[in-house]
Amino acid sequence: MKKITIAIDGFSSSGKSTMAKQLARKIGYVYVDSGAMYRATTLYAIRNGMTSKERGVDTAALVAALPDIHISFIITPEETQHTLLNGEDVEKEIRGMEVSGWVSPVAVIPEVRHYLVKLQQQYGKDKGIVMDGRDIGTTVFPDAEMKVFVQASPEVRARRRYDELIEKGTPSDYEAVLANIKERDHIDTTRKESPLRKADDAFELDNDRLTREQQMDVLIKLFEEKTRG
C-alpha cells in the first residue's frame, strides 16, 4: 500500500493530538506533535530569561539561540511519546500553564516558525507520517494526501484540557484554562505568519459530539479512500 502524509490541524485542545496518535498507531505511521516543538522552544525561552511580563518575548535573543535548541522525541517503555529539549525529557513541563501562557506569542515569531517548519518537513520526507498542529495542511505539508481539520467548541475543549491537567496531577482552574484557550485561538487565527485556518482541501471533523470510536471510524475510512489504488 502506498504511504501518504496525513495532516491534522485544529484549535487548541480540539482532541487532534489524541486522534492523530491513535490513528498513527493503528496504521503503523510515525506520529509527530508539532505543538510540542513550539512548546519546547517556549520552555527554552522561559528558562533562559527571554520572557517577561513587562517586555513580552525577547525575540532577538530567542532567534539568536535557535541553533542551540534541539528537539527530539522518544517512545517511553509505556509506549507514550515524550518530547526532549536538548536531550532532557520535558514532556510534563511543556504541558503546564506557564508554557501554555507563552507558547502562542513565541509561535508568532517568523524565524521560530521557519526553523520548526524545516524540522517538521525533514521528519515527513519519507511520508508514512501523521503530524498534528495548526498549519500542517497549509504550510508544512501543503501537498499532504489526507488533511483533516478538527473543530470543537471552546467550552468542550477547556473541559478536556482541564480534566487532562487534573489527571496528570497539575492543580488547575477551569476558568483560567478556558481563558487561555480563547486567547490562544485569537492569537493563532489572527497572526500574520501561517495563521490557523482550514486548508481548502481539508476534511472537516466536528468532534463535539463524536466518541473516540466514531472519530476513528471516520479517519480510517478517509485513510482507506486516500491509499486505495
Residue 134 sits in the site that holds ligand CDP (CB under 6 A): yes
Residue 207 sits in the site that holds ligand CDP (CB under 6 A): no
CB closer to ligand CDP out of 5 and 13: 13
CB of 151 to ligand CDP, least distance (A): 13
Site string for ligand CDP, 21-40 (x = CB under 6 A): -------------xx--xx-
- How many chain residues bind ligand CDP (CB under 6 A)? 16
* Contact residue for ligand CDP among 184, 199, 202, 203 (CB under 6 A): 184
Q: What one-character-per-residue DSSP string does the chain give?
A: ----EEEEEESTTSSHHHHHHHHHHHHT-EEEEHHHHHHHHHHHHHHTT-EETTTEE-HHHHHHHGGG--EEEEE-TTS-EEEEETTEE-HHHHTSHHHHHHHHHHHT-HHHHHHHHHHHHHHTTT--EEEEESSIIIII-TT-SEEEEEE--HHHHHHHHHHHHHHTT----HHHHHHHHHHHHHHHHH-SSS-----TTPEEEE-SS--HHHHHHHHHHHHHHHH--
> Residues in the site for ligand CDP, rule: CB under 6 A?
12-13, 17, 34-35, 38-39, 103-104, 107, 133-136, 184, 188
